[in-house]
Every structure is written in structure tokens, then in C-alpha cells.
């Protein structure tokens, strides 16, 4: 009797986390189908898991980035610049894909009069101002509100300052970083249970009945996201690595995309991406900065959502769109997507900004936002999965690409 219990535990430990998550996913779907009332009660499990991820992410980023910079030795190479370029290239490419798809397969909306109490930004200047204000936010406030731009700014500043401190201080920071990482690993081990709760409760409460009326719009949105994930991103990775990109692409989608799909928050998925980067053997000083930065500025999915929904409103109102305006929309969507910053449904609040390019009044634009919330069950989940898996994909591509370049020059 005593031998059987440890063996079951050992068997569970030997099963990979992804396999456990898939088991949780299937169990959640089954429970929602056969016992919907019981499935609704599992919402609390999912809520606890997402809350735990969101709680640990800010302190993890702050400590990890600060420790990495403080312990960074002069002469060590980091690859932040090429990763930033890939982030911006990927986001702009996604916006262009969305423009082309929207023109090839135009969507029409039944613009309802649902009153959605949200405040949209008034222009590009306002979005950029809010980003700048996020940088100079109070550090305690930044940690409490999960303002990752502010957290990164303070962590980088503190890290640079502590680089000149004694070895003991830097060792303490390193130990603190390891301690927080252990807590993160414990939280991530509960992902299968969390995914089970999220899937079961979402299917039992929302279902997919509300989505049928927006099937064409959803097909365009999800089609764009799949095209970017399976064609554009692999093309960018191939350009960087000059080898078959798909093993890396599918690993990132499987191990980062699945959890991001159900947590619906890039910020909550930061610990998962950091753990995956470590397992891929990437440069720690690089990924500890690029992953949280990607959760804020690498918003390919948000660029697609903003562009497709704005152009659906344009088509519904029979407004003519020329190529220069469409290209401008791509640029605006790419820039403004950075302001979506991993908040669930954040990209929807930037749709009125894109609509304003075409002279669409705010009242109609907010109705488009309401449509976005209706399809959010799938749209927001797919968007977050694309955003978050791309963070770790581009980080890996840049790190591995720079390593290959160094080997060729050696």
C-alpha cells in the first residue's frame, strides 16, 4: 500500500506539464458538456490560478531584471536590440496581414446600441503620453497595479545603480531572484488545475451560442492570427536563423500559447514564458528583460483585432478606403497596440482611435467595441495566445541567431 502512493506521485511528476494541461483541458470540456452546473462551480479554481500568476508576475519581473542587470558582467553580450526589432516587425506585419484580409473578406456588423462603459484614448499623442507616464510611475504603485513599463524602468534603474555595489549585495539579489523563481515554479505546477477550472466554467456559463452571429468576423480575426502564427512568424524566424523554424514555433505555441489562451493575459503568462526560456537554454540577462517587455509592446494579436474591427466598421458604413490610409492604419495599429499592455480586452479600448482615422464618430466606434466584447471569449483568448507565444519565439530566435553569428565569426 505504501509503495503504490509514491509511484503514482512519481508517475505524475514524470508526466510533462503540457500533457497535464491537455488532460485538464479535456477534463474541463467533458465536465462542461455532461455536468454544466458542477462546471460553473469550478470558476473559483481558475480564478485562484490566474490571480496567483498575476500576483507573482510583477515581483518576479522586478527582482529578476534588477538582479540580472546588477550581476551583469562588463563585456557580456545581450541581444535586446534585435529582439525589439523583431517585436516591432512582427506587430507591423500582423497589422498588414489584417488590412489585406479585411479588404479581401470584408465583414459587416450589426451595430447594436449596447451601452459599454469604457473610456477610449483620444489620439496617438494620448496613447504615447500614457506610456511615458507609465515609465515614471511610483514603484510601489507600479508593482500594485502590474504596470510593467514602470516596473521595468525601476528595475533597470535599480539594477544599474546596484552594479556598483559590493559583491555581497549583488549575491543577495541573485539569491532573492532564485527564491522568487522557486515560488513561480510552484504556481506553474498548478496550471493543469487552473486550466481545468477556466475551461469548464467558461464553456458552462458563456457557451458559444453568442458567437454564431459573428462567425464571418471571427473567421477573419482567427484566420489572420493563425496566418501570422503559422506563416509570418515562421518566415521571420527563418530569416533570422536560416533553418526550419517550425519545431521552435510549435514548441512556443504548445507550451506558451495554451496557457495564454485560457489566462487571457500576457502579463499573467510572463512566468510561463520565463520558465520556457530557461528550458530552451537562452541567455538569462536577455530573456529576463525581453519577455516582460514583450508582454507590453509585442502586440501582434492586438494589432490584428484593432485593424479588423475598425475596417469592419468602415465596410459597414460604406466608407471608401485607399491604400495609403490602410497603410497608415497598419502603422497606427502597430503603435497603439503597444498601449494594450496585456490587459484582458485592452486592445478593444483602442478601436475608437483607429476608427477616428476614418471620421467614424465615437458613439458608433463604441458599438464596435461592444461587438468585440461579445466575441471576446474566442478573440481575446486567441489574441493573447499569439501575443504571448510570439514573445518567447522572437526572444529565442534573436538569441539563437546571435549565437550562430558569433560561432561563424569565431
Cα distance between residue 151 and residue 295, in whole Å: 12
Nearest to 302 by CA among 48, 31, 22, 95: 95
Residue 115 pLDDT: 47
Helices (H) and strands (E) in the chain, counts: 21, 0
Question: In this model, does residue 3 exceed pLDDT 70?
Answer: no
pLDDT category at 226 given cuts 50, 70, 90 is very high
Q: What is the pLDDT of residue 145?
A: 82
pLDDT at 222 over 80: yes
- Length reported for the chain: 410
Looking at the 3D structure of the chain, how many domains does it have? 1
Q: What integer best gives the mean pLDDT of the chain?
A: 80
Domain that holds residue 268: 4-409
Of residues 360 and 41, more confidently modeled: 41
Quick one: pLDDT band at residue 120, thresholds 50, 70, 90? very low
- For the segment 152-207, what is each residue's pLDDT rounded down to a tens digit? 789 889 888 888 888 888 888 888 888 887 887 788 788 888 888 887 887 787 66
- Percentage of the chain beyond pLDDT 90 is 20
Give the residue from 330, 337, 326 showing the smallest Cα distance to 387. 337
Distance, in Å, from the CA atom of 335 to the CA atom of 21, rounded to the nearest integer, reads: 34
**Mean pLDDT, to the nearest integer, of 74-88?**
79
Q: What is the mean pLDDT of residues 37-53?
A: 86
Query: How much is the pLDDT for 2?
Result: 47
Residue 94 has pLDDT above 80, yes or no: yes
Q: What is the pTM of this model?
A: 0.73
What's the confidence (pLDDT) of residue 1?
45
Residue 389 pLDDT: 94
Confirm if 59 and 272 have CB atoms less than 8 A apart.
Answer: no
Does position 343 have pLDDT exceeding 70, yes or no? no
Q: What is the DSSP letter of 107?
A: -
CATH number at residue 38: 1.10.3860.10
pLDDT digits (tens, 9 = 90+) for 375-385: 777 888 899 89
For 283, the enclosing helix (H) or strand (E) is none
Query: What span, in angstroms and rounded, lies between the C-alpha atoms of 129 and 125?
Result: 6
Q: How confident is the model at residue 370 (pLDDT cuts 50, 70, 90)?
A: confident
125 has a pLDDT exceeding 70: no
Amino acid at each position: 500500500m505504501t509503495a503504490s502512493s509514491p509511484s503514482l506521485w512519481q508517475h505524475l511528476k514524470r508526466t510533462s506539464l503540457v500533457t497535464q494541461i491537455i488532460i485538464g483541458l479535456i477534463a474541463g470540456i467533458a465536465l462542461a458538456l455532461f455536468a454544466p452546473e458542477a462546471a460553473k462551480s469550478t470558476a473559483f479554481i481558475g480564478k485562484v490560478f490566474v490571480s496567483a500568476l498575476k500576483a507573482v508576475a510583477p515581483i518576479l519581473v522586478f527582482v529578476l531584471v534588477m538582479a540580472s542587470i546588477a550581476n551583469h558582467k562588463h563585456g557580456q553580450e545581450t541581444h535586446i536590440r534585435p529582439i525589439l526589432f523583431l517585436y516591432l516587425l512582427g506587430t507591423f506585419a500582423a497589422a498588414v496581414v489584417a488590412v489585406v484580409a479585411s479588404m479581401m473578406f470584408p465583414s459587416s456588423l450589426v451595430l447594436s446600441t449596447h451601452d459599454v462603459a469604457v473610456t477610449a484614448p483620444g489620439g496617438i499623442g494620448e496613447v504615447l503620453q500614457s506610456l511615458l507616464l507609465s515609465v515614471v510611475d511610483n514603484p510601489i504603485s507600479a508593482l500594485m497595479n502590474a504596470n510593467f513599463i514602470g516596473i521595468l524602468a525601476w528595475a533597470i534603474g535599480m539594477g544599474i545603480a546596484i552594479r556598483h555595489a559590493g559583491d555581497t549585495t549583488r549575491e543577495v539579489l541573485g539569491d532573492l531572484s532564485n527564491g522568487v523563481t522557486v515560488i513561480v515554479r510552484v504556481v506553474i505546477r498548478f496550471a493543469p488545475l487552473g486550466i481545468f477550472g477556466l475551461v469548464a466554467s467558461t464553456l458552462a456559463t458563456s457557451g458559444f451560442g453568442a458567437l454564431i452571429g459573428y462567425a464571418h468576423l471571427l473567421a477573419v480575426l482567427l484566420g489572420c492570427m493563425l496566418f501570422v502564427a503559422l506563416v509570418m512568424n515562421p518566415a521571420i524566424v527563418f530569416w533570422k536563423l536560416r533553418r526550419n523554424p517550425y519545431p521552435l514555433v510549435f514548441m512556443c505555441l504548445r507550451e506558451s500559447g495554451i496557457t495564454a489562451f485560457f489566462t487571457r493575459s500576457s502579463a499573467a503568462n510572463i512566468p510561463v514564458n520565463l520558465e520556457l526560456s530557461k528550458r530552451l537554454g537562452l541567455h538569462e540577462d536577455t530573456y529576463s528583460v525581453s519577455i516582460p517587455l514583450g508582454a507590453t509592446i509585442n502586440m501582434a494579436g492586438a494589432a490584428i483585432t484593432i485593424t479588423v474591427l475598425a475596417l469592419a466598421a468602415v465596410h459597414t458604413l460604406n466608407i471608401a478606403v485607399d491604400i495609403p490610409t490602410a497603410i497608415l492604419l497598419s502603422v497606427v495599429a502597430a503603435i497603439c497596440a503597444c498601449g494594450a499592455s496585456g490587459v484582458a480586452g485592452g486592445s478593444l479600448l483602442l478601436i475608437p482611435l483607429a476608427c477616428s482615422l476614418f471620421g467614424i464618430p465615437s458613439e458608433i466606434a463604441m458599438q464596435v467595441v461592444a461587438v468585440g466584447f461579445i466575441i471576446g471569449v474566442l478573440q481575446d483568448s486567441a489574441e493573447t495566445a499569439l501575443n504571448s507565444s510570439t514573445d518567447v519565439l522572437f526572444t529565442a530566435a534573436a538569441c539563437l541567431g546571435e549565437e550562430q553569428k558569433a560561432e561563424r565569426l569565431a
